Each structure stands twice: as C-alpha cells, then as structure tokens.
Amino acid sequence: MTDTTHTGTGTRTGAAQDRVRPLLRTRQVREFTDQPIAPADVDALADVARWSGSSSNEQPWRFIVIRDAGILRRLAETCQPQTRPLATATAAIAIVLPDEKERAVSRAYDEGRAAERVLVAASMLDLGGGVSWIISDARAAVREILGIPADRFVRTIIALGHPTEGARRPKSAPGQARLPREQVVFEERWPA
Amino acid sequence: MTDTTHTGTGTRTGAAQDRVRPLLRTRQVREFTDQPIAPADVDALADVARWSGSSSNEQPWRFIVIRDAGILRRLAETCQPQTRPLATATAAIAIVLPDEKERAVSRAYDEGRAAERVLVAASMLDLGGGVSWIISDARAAVREILGIPADRFVRTIIALGHPTEGARRPKSAPGQARLPREQVVFEERWPA
C-alpha cells in the first residue's frame, strides 16, 4: 500500500518509513488457506507473545496455542461474526487473563499490547492474523472448550494462517483506511 | 539478548525467531541521550501510531507529538516515577482518548495496541521508547499542559529518544526477564 501522507514540512519520510514498513502494512486477516503454519513459525509467534511487555512486568497472561482443527472450528462457532477468522485459521493463540474487575482497564491495555505484537509478528513471517474479540456472552463456551479455570477468562483469540489472496488485498484505496494525518496527529499541544 | 527457549520438540526456531527479532528485543527505555530524533523518524513514529488498528477501525485516538523541551520537562513532573522517562526524552507521543466510562476496557485495549506499535517502531529505528502511564490523579495536570478538552484524557505518553548506553543494556540475565515458556504457553487446552 502506498501511503501518500506528507510530513509537517512537506517532505517525505521515505527511509524511516521503509524501516517501519511491517508496522504500517500490518492489518487484520480474516480468511486463510488450508496450508498449515510451519511449526517453527508457531513457536516464534508464541515466543513473541510471551516476551510482550506488561505493567510492572507482571505477565498476567497465559497463552494457549491451538492447532487442532476440531478445536479451532468449535471456537469459530462461539461468537459469530467476531470469531469468523477461526473458521479457516490453521492455528490460533488464545490470551488467558485473570478475571479481576478492579484491574480490568490495565489488564486490557496489556492484552492489547500482546495481541498487537502477535499480529505484527505474523505479518513479519508473511502470515496473517486476525483478532477475535470474545464478547461476554460467549466466554462460558470458550472456557468450556479450552478448559479454562473459573478465575480466568479469554477475550482475545488471534486467528493465524496463510492469508487467502482476497484477504491479502487491502479493503480500502491507498490512504483511505485511516483518518488523514492532520485530523489525528497534532504538534506540541491540542489545537486551539 | 539470547533467548534460550526451546520449542516443544526440543529444536530451536532460529530462522523464524530471527525474522521476529525486533519484537523479541523491544523493551522499555527510560533514559535518553540529548541527541535529537531525526524529524523523519518522528514523522514515521507518528504514522505508525496513526495506522494502528482499533476496534471497528474507530480510531478513537488523537496523537500529540511533543518535541518542545519545556513541555516535555513539565510533563515529566506530573506523575513521578511513571513519567521519569520524559525527563530526558527528546520527543514524546501522547495518546488522547475520549473519556467514555462505558467503553473503558475496549478503549484501553486499543490504546495498548497503539502504544505497542510505537514502541516496536522506535526499536526498529534504533531508538528507544518508554510508556509513561499517567495515573488518574495526574491527568488534570497533563490536560492543562497539553490543552486537552474536558471530554478527553491522556493516560499514555510514550517517551522517545536515543537510549543511553545504560538504558540499552538488559536489566536481567538472558532468559530471566520472562516466565519460562512451559509456565506461560500451553498447547491446545489449559493444562489438566
């Protein structure tokens, strides 16, 4: 995708943008081919998850790496349409968190950090990842399928696999998928 | 850092791990030299933030890029020790979010995703980033300094800069900074 954004001074930031390209091109993938992910790639993704940063390095999470097609398909049925990517995923990583109401915001922040690392890592490995956000009503079903203890829960399952050709294509015209820079990025202070 | 983790089968995942290395080595940096960040690098970091994924692509955030040393130092004083990295940062990105109690968890999740992308991008540019988490009590001061409207707030300010030699060094022995893999990553289901 070509990003036509200009900098504040009107010049392009080509070299720097090239270096962070994996982050600019990472997008959600929701449909996968039946080609399995190489075991080494799954391991690398699990390690990226494990090495994510968390508040005070508390590492509140546990990760379940799922490759069993039967389990993936059962998970896909728990929470449509959010879990649709799991219908074709060849692997997935579920993020298991302690169920602590009083720390819900901080835990969600750390959860987002870990999920994002896995998505970026999948992109770096020429794979795709898509976050399935499990709504409250579906969490009991997911807990049952994965055998999660009562004091923990799963909200994020990252579907993983080789993207289909269609899923690789951007859904928006170049530069249209995000608000224009001048509406989102301000300098020094909130604009007067 | 050498990660001595083995895979489930006892083999190393060298090639895949090399490809995701920027994600395995990204860590918080809290002390910076006085060398400024190249403007193109700041622009690239702002674009990475802008291109982060969010729930339903709502892009709830606005980002303030701060380079003014006076503002950075004032922010550093708002919420010690969390804001300590801002005392030496040569730039920072503040994430401004709508103040919506009923969506606090979902917003925090997206905020974590954006913060993580910026940290990873900084690492890819051979820079460092450190998240300053602004606690509730300090948010009025930050709002005042940055001119944030009453219906929005800042919880995350990412301090940015060139890491000092000390800040580049891992604080833990190799492999010690995270729980061992067998305690964190499970296969297919929660362990019986």
pLDDT in tens, B132-151: 999 999 999 999 999 999 99
User: Whole-model pTM?
Assistant: 0.89
Mean pLDDT of chain B: 90
| pLDDT tens-digit map of A86-132 | 999 999 999 999 999 999 999 999 999 999 999 999 999 999 999 99
Residue A162: which of A77, A81, A80, A42 has the closest Cα? Answer: A42
**Do B175 and A130 form a contact (C-beta atoms < 8 A)?**
no
Exposure of A22 in the CB half-sphere (CA atoms within 13 A): 26
Interatomic CA distance for residues B82 and B102, integer angstroms:
26
Give chain B positions within 8 Å (CB) of A133: 55
Interatomic CA distance for residues B29 and B86, integer angstroms:
11
- Predicted local confidence at residue B9, as pLDDT: 37
Give chain A positions within 8 Å (CB) of B38: 16
Q: Which residue has the tokens 């919506």?
A: B100
Structure tokens at B23: 């994600």
Q: Nearest CB to A63: which of B14, B61, B185?
A: B185
Average pLDDT over residues B63-82: 96
| pLDDT tens-digit map of B3-31 | 434 333 334 457 998 999 888 877 889 99
Min CA distance, B133 vs chain A (Å)? 9
Structure tokens at A155: 């909200």
Give chain B positions within 8 Å (CB) of A181: 46-47, 50
Domains of chain A: 38-169 (3.40.109.10)
**Do A121 and B124 form a contact (C-beta atoms < 8 A)?**
no
- Predicted local confidence at residue A144, as pLDDT: 97
Contact B189 A59 (CB under 8 A): no
- Predicted local confidence at residue B175, as pLDDT: 62
Q: Nearest CB to A47: which of B3, B41, B71?
A: B3
- Any residues with CB less than 8 A from the CB of A87 and at least 6 apart, and which? A72, A73, A76
CA distance to A59, A136, B22, B24, B140, per residue, from B2 (Å): 20, 39, 13, 10, 42
CA distance to B29, B33, B38, B171, per residue, from B166 (Å): 10, 10, 22, 9
Q: Is the dihedral of CA B147, B151, B155, B159 positive or negative?
A: negative
**Do B19 and A44 form a contact (C-beta atoms < 8 A)?**
yes
Contact B51 A178 (CB under 8 A): yes
In percent, the amount of chain A with pLDDT more than 70 equals 90
* ipTM score of complex: 0.89
CB-count exposure of residue A189 (10 Å: 0-12, 13-18, 19+): middle
Min CA distance, A6 vs chain B (Å)? 9
> Per-residue pLDDT for A176 more than 80?
no
